[in-house]
Chain A
């Protein structure tokens, strides 16, 4: 890896993905502006992010920027093209742990799942990792487990 991504963001005009990265051989920090082409308010953010991640000219720079992050930036850009404010977009990613996600539509659910995926990817052990254990067992049984507050105020049938 020759480039270490530091930050990755989006710019509305002209539509582009901005990457701040460190060049590892010289330790210099640089900014790369990647124009987003052929992307309209009807475009598929999923495909656009995948295309960018595999783009021959940019993929080396984007190696440690997750697909999820690129999707998120494309969603923000698409929201902007549809006339939504940045505040609206950012609020839509916010995960309210009390919200019933069963009630959301496909697009809204994808935004929340994207947020959860960030944590999943962060904690994920890949099967190629040196310390990967397929059959990882941990015994959590404790005689003195504290009662979970989620069980209070329960109805009788629960």
Chain B
């Protein structure tokens, strides 16, 4: 599938190497409000591209950061989270990650640990934040402290996609952090890991092909 993804122009991830492009991914359980948050931030500007084959929605945005204009792609899942895991290409070349849970559903908070673990397997260094959505349902939750983000040293936001509380602030912060991360040349480890990652992917593909070959010959044998 990794090969297929590369051949779709919208999913050409080479572009994320250019200075004016950042990729920000959203993670979190089904129905925590990931799409609604992006749509609240973009308002009328958004024209999402549904790539249903890949269970993926892309939102494009142009932002001014300092004196630069940056094209931002927000990657949103379209049901892929139901496999409890995302395809590696979802994480590939991402510059920041927004992790969302629903303050009304404890399980979505508990599952953050799994999402964060998977994120760090692919992207050990990128900026990430924890977002507590749907505070409009019960403002009392904002008096509580949720320690998952603190433990991991991640910024935490109480937001509401419905009434808009802190949505724009959170996205602006994350865009800025994504751009900063990209410009930070000291992040040598990440590049090395990225190289290793693609090297391992290639290796895996080779192995997969080899297995295919074996299976085919097995089939031929059994036919005989």
Chain A interface residues (CB < 8 Å from chain B): 97-104, 106, 109, 112-113, 116, 119-121, 123-125, 127, 132-138, 140, 142, 145-148, 150-151, 155, 157-158
CB <8 Å contact, B164 and A136 = yes
> What's the least CB distance linking A149 to chain B, in Å?
8
Which residue of chain B is the closest to A121 with respect to CB atoms? B162
Given contact pairs A101-B31, A101-B105, a sample of 9 additional A-B residue pairs in the complex whose CB atoms are under 8 Å apart: A99-B107, A102-B111, A104-B30, A123-B160, A127-B44, A134-B168, A136-B163, A136-B166, A138-B166
Q: How far is the CA of A146 from the CA of B147 in the complex (A)?
A: 11
CB <8 Å contact, A97 and B148 = no
Which residue of chain B is the closest to A109 with respect to CB atoms? B30
Which residue of chain A is the closest to B146 with respect to CB atoms? A148
Partner of B137, one of A119, A138, A140, A150: A119
CB <8 Å contact, B168 and A120 = no
CB within 8 Å of A: which B137-178 residues: 137, 142-148, 151, 158, 160-169
Chain B interface residues (CB < 8 Å from chain A): 29-31, 33, 36, 43-44, 79, 81-82, 84, 104-107, 109-111, 113, 117, 134, 136-137, 142-148, 151, 158, 160-169
Which residue of chain A is the closest to B104 with respect to CB atoms? A97
> What's the least CB distance linking A138 to chain B, in Å?
5
Query: In the complex, which residues of chain B have a beta carbon less than 8 angstroms from the beta carbon of A123?
Result: 136-137, 160, 162-163
Which residue of chain A is the closest to B152 with respect to CB atoms? A158
CB <8 Å contact, B146 and A102 = no
CB <8 Å contact, A125 and B164 = yes
Q: How far is the CA of A157 from the CA of B112 in the complex (A)?
A: 11
Query: In the complex, which residues of chain B have a beta carbon less than 8 angstroms from the beta carbon of A101?
Result: 29-31, 105
Looking at A99, A113, A116, which has the most chain B CB atoms within 10 Å of its CB? A116
CB <8 Å contact, B79 and A98 = no
Quick one: given A103-B82, A135-B169, are A151 and B113 in contact (CB under 8 Å)? no
Which residue of chain A is the closest to B101 with respect to CB atoms? A150
Q: How far is the CA of A61 from the CA of B20 in the complex (A)?
A: 50
Q: How far is the CA of A99 from the CA of B44 in the complex (A)?
A: 33
CB <8 Å contact, B107 and A120 = no
Among all A-B residue pairs, the 6 with the closest Cβ atoms? A145-B145, A123-B162, A123-B136, A148-B144, A140-B142, A101-B30
Query: In the complex, which residues of chain B have a beta carbon less than 8 angstroms from the beta carbon of A116?
Result: 31
Query: In the complex, which residues of chain B have a beta carbon less than 8 angstroms from the beta carbon of A148?
Result: 144-147
Q: How far is the CA of A116 from the CA of B31 in the complex (A)?
A: 8
CB <8 Å contact, A147 and B169 = no
Which residue of chain B is the closest to A135 with respect to CB atoms? B168
CB <8 Å contact, B168 and A136 = yes
Partner of A102, one of B30, B158, B165, B166: B30
CB <8 Å contact, B147 and A151 = yes
